[in-house]
């Protein structure tokens, strides 16, 4: 306990490196202004048909990737503050600020190593800032494997064997609740969030939105015929998103394909096939 308090005191008094780029920043801020700005333009995170609408704050690369790793694996718990702030802005943008926040679970051993469940910590910060109510409804059994290095099939099998819903927690649901938002740090194959959403749906709590900090393979939205400013904050509904299977932006417009999770701006490539639903409803 004492070393933890001393570490917190040092974090408050001494300048620290930005968790995303390493520049020196004021104590307690976690991320510099530029890195925080890069997390303020949510983008579609997955095309899997078995997932609810999934959005990410940033691709799993560059400063966002380094911030997630620093927070999750390198003891930078101060990063919970700016990461929660960016997630909170996204919830407001999607009209889901009065929601049920369900954090994806961590293995008990990993949580002990990290000084607590890292996504539960962020969910509690979001609730403290007025963005909803935390519902820690998911848990992993003690024999669950670390997902690092597992392919999609192995991750799905691991979760199928060890993921469970805490029925006692579901019994505390408010009678009039808002949308259900599943929170996670990284979306890679989508197996984890698919299993979590499936388990919650089977328990009578369907997920309305998956919101993650970063996503592997996600590409930044682009405005047709123009370049999106770095600090722009236009909601995803007003953008048409283009991507390429190889993960790089093609040089010719004809090679683009319209991302099926975007809507709003008319496209000459044909209408989107999948939209972010209106999650402002309450059930």
Q: Classify residue 32: in a domain, yes or no.
A: no
Residue 37 has a pLDDT of: 94
Please give the average per-residue pLDDT across 229-256, as a whole number. 38
- The last residue of a domain, from among 174, 193, 218: 218
pLDDT at residue 270 tops 60:
no
- Are 186 and 112 within one domain? yes
pTM equals 0.73
Q: Classify residue 34: in a domain, yes or no.
A: no
The mean of the pLDDT values for the chain is 76
pLDDT at residue 111 tops 60:
yes
Residue 6 has a pLDDT of: 60
Q: Classify residue 259: in a domain, yes or no.
A: yes
Please indicate whether residue 93 or residue 175 has the higher confidence score (pLDDT): 93
Please give the average per-residue pLDDT across 135-141, as a whole number. 90
What is the pLDDT confidence band of residue 115, given thresholds at 50, 70 and 90?
A: confident
- Are 262 and 137 within one domain? no
What is the pLDDT confidence band of residue 274, given thresholds at 50, 70 and 90?
A: very low
Q: Classify residue 12: in a domain, yes or no.
A: no
- Are 106 and 129 within one domain? yes
Overall number of domains in the chain: 2
- The last residue of a domain, from among 191, 218, 245: 218
CA 242 to chain centre: 21
Q: Classify residue 86: in a domain, yes or no.
A: yes
Q: Classify residue 10: in a domain, yes or no.
A: no
Percent residues over pLDDT 70 in the chain: 69
Q: Classify residue 19: in a domain, yes or no.
A: no
Residue 4 has a pLDDT of: 56
What is the pLDDT confidence band of residue 104, given thresholds at 50, 70 and 90?
A: very high
Residue 83 has a pLDDT of: 97
- The residues that bridge with 55 in the sheet, in sequence order, are 44, 211
pLDDT at residue 67 tops 70:
yes
Please give the average per-residue pLDDT across 278-283, as a whole number. 47
Interstrand relation of 138-140 and 163-165 (parallel, antiparallel or unpaired): antiparallel
> CB 34: neighbour CB atoms within 10 A?
14
Per-residue pLDDT tens over the stretch 12-57? 566 789 999 999 998 888 999 999 999 999 999 987 888 899 999 9
- Are 212 and 252 within one domain? no
pLDDT at residue 206 tops 50:
yes
What is the pLDDT confidence band of residue 161, given thresholds at 50, 70 and 90?
A: confident
Q: Classify residue 63: in a domain, yes or no.
A: yes
Determine the 3-state secondary structure of 164 from DSSP: strand
- Are 77 and 150 within one domain? yes
Phi, psi of 214 (to 5 degrees): -140, 160
- Are 246 and 212 within one domain? no
- Are 172 and 269 within one domain? no
CATH number at residue 84: 3.40.50
What is the pLDDT confidence band of residue 3, given thresholds at 50, 70 and 90?
A: low
- Are 178 and 74 within one domain? yes
The 3-class secondary structure across 11-75, one letter per residue, is: HHHCCEECCCCCCEECCCCCCCHHHHHCCCCCEECCCCCCCCCEEEEEECCHHHHHHHHHHHHCC
- Are 248 and 194 within one domain? no
What is the pLDDT confidence band of residue 243, given thresholds at 50, 70 and 90?
A: very low
Q: Where are the alpha helices (DSSP H) in 61-182?
A: 62-73, 80-93, 108-113, 118-128, 152-162, 167-170
- Are 196 and 239 within one domain? no
Please give the average per-residue pLDDT across 116-122, as a whole number. 93
Phi, psi of 227 (to 5 degrees): -100, 130
Residue 225 has a pLDDT of: 43
DSSP states along 171-215: TT--SS---EEEEEEEESSSHHHHHHHHHHHHTT---SEEEEEEE
Range of the domain at 161: 40-218
Please indicate whether residue 11 or residue 72 has the higher confidence score (pLDDT): 72
- The last residue of a domain, from among 173, 194, 218: 218
- Are 183 and 242 within one domain? no
CA 157 to chain centre: 22
- Are 69 and 166 within one domain? yes
């Amino acid at each position: 306990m004492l070393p933890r308090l001393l570490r917190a005191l040092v974090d408050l008094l001494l300048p620290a490196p930005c968790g995303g780029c390493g520049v020196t920043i004021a104590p307690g801020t976690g991320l510099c202004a530029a890195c925080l700005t890069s997390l303020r333009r949510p983008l579609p995170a997955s095309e899997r048909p078995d997932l609810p609408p999934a959005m990410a704050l940033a691709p799993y690369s560059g400063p966002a990737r380094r911030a997630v790793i620093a927070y999750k694996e390198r003891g930078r718990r101060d990063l919970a503050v700016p990461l929660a702030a960016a997630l909170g802005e996204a919830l407001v943008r999607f009209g889901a600020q009065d929601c049920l926040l369900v954090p994806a679970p961590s293995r008990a051993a990993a949580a002990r190593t990290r000084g607590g469940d890292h996504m539960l910590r962020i969910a509690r910060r979001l609730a403290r800032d007025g963005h909803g109510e935390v519902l820690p409804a998911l848990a992993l059994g003690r024999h669950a494997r670390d997902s690092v290095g597992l392919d999609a099939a192995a991750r799905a099998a691991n979760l199928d064997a060890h993921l469970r819903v805490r029925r006692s927690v579901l019994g505390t649901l408010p009678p009039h609740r808002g949308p259900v938002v599943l929170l996670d740090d990284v979306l890679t194959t989508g197996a984890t969030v698919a299993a979590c959403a499936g388990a919650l749906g089977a328990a009578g709590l369907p997920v309305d939105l998956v919101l993650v900090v970063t996503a592997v393979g996600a590409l930044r939205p682009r405005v047709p015929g123009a370049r999106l400013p770095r600090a722009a904050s236009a909601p995803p509904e007003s953008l048409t998103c283009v991507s390429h299977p190889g993960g790089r932006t093609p040089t010719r417009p004809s090679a683009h394909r319209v991302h099926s999770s975007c809507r709003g701006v008319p496209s000459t490539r044909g209408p989107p096939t999948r939209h972010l639903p209106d999650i402002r409803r309450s059930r």
